[in-house]
Structure 1
C-alpha cells in the first residue's frame, strides 16, 4: 500500500487561490472525493495534504478545512503540510499555534515562483531556524537554478528534516540535465534532506511521455539520496496535466521494476511513516 505525501484539495467556495487564474487547466474545484476514488483504486492507504498556496490570510483556514476532511469516516488524510511565511514578523506566534495542532506535520513556503533572494532574507533564515527541535518538516519547492538556495537552508538548520519536492523540478521536456544533476547530488550530501518522487509527469511532454522518459530523472534522484531518504507523492491534481493519478502510479511501479521488496516499501510507504510518525 502507498502513502501519498502530496495531495492538494482545491475548494474555491471556501478559500482563495490567487495563482489559479494563471493555470487555466487547474482553475476549478478539485474535491477530495474525486481524488479518493482513484487513490483507493491505486492502492493508496494514507495521504498528507500539501498546502495549495492560498491567499496568505487564509493559511490557517486551509488547515481547518483539511481537518474537516480528515475527520470524515475512513478518510485517507492523516496529516497536513501547512503553508507558512517565514519572512514575516509574526512567524514565531504562528509556529506555536501549529505546534499545538496534531494535524500539522510540517510546512512549505513555495519558493520556485518567488524571487531567489526571499530565502536569503535574514528574518526568513532566523525563522527557519525556529523549526529546530519542533519535529516539523519543511518542504523545499525550488527550480534547478535555486537548488543552491535549498542547500543553504539545509545547512542553516541541520537538525530540521527538509523534503525536496518533485525531484527538484527538472526540465524533463527540455532535457536540461545540468545544473540539475550536479546540484541534486550536492544537496543529497546533506543527511537532513529527503527527496520526494513526485510531480515529474507534469514536466514531461503530456502527449508522449512513457515510464522510460521519466526513468533517468527518477533514478538519479533515488541514487543520490538512497532508498532510506525518498518518499512518494501524487501531486494531485497537478499530475492531471501529465496523464493523471492512475497513470503516475502505474509509471511508478514500472520504474520500480527491479527494486527489491524492501526498497519499494521504503519509497512507497515506510519512509513517510517514519518521517511524519504516521
Structure 2
C-alpha cells in the first residue's frame, strides 16, 4: 500500500510531459518483456491481466468507472494529438487487424454476445446522456459516415477515371490502326497527278458548249396550256386540229374584266 501511495503521489506531482515520458518508458519495458516471453507465457500474462482488470472493475463504483473512462478518453485524445498522420494511419491499420483477428477467432455465440453487449452499452449511454451530449454524438456519427462516404466516393471516382482513361487509350489506338490501314492502299497506288488534259476531253467540251450556247438553243417561248416559259428546244409544236376536246381550252370569264380588249382578240382568233 505504501508503494502504491508513493507512486500515486509521484504521478500527482509530475507534469503532463513527465507523466507521458514515464508512460513511454513503461511501454518500452513491457514491450521488451513481451518480446522475451514465449507464446504460452504471454497468453498466461494476458489471462492474469484480464482477471485483475475484471476484479478491479467489479470492486469499482459507478462514479469511479466513469472517471476511469473519462481518463482513458483523455489519454487517447492526447496520444492522437501528438501523433503524426502516418502514425495515426498505422495505428488504425493495426487496430483493424487486431479486431479482425479477434472476430475471426470468436465463435458465433460469442459474436452474438458481443453484439448484445454493444447494444446494451449504446442504450445505456443514450439513456444517461444529456440532450447536448446526444446531439454531439449524433454530429460525430454524421461526420464519421460522411468521411466514410467521401472515401468510398473518391475511390469509386478514381476507379472510374482509370477505366475511362483505359477506354480512351484503346479507342485512340484502334483509330490509329484504322487510319494506317486506310493509308496503306493509297500509298501503294500510283497516281499520275497533275497531268495534261486529253485532247478528246477538250473536243467533247467544245462540242457541248457549241450545241448549248447558240441563239436557237437559248430562245424561250411560253406554253399555250400551262403558261410556263421554257426553252424552245424543250417545247412541242402541236397543231390545233390534233388537239382533242379543244372546246375546253377557253379563257376564264374573270379574265375579260382584267385584260382589256380580250374580246376583240377572241373574235379575231375565231375569224
More RCO (CA 8 Å, sep 6+) = 1
The higher radius of gyration belongs to: 2
Q: Which has a greater percent of strand?
A: 1
Tell whether the structures are fold-level matches, with TM greater than 0.5: no
Q: Which has a greater percent of helix?
A: 2
TM-score, length-normalised on structure 2? 0.18
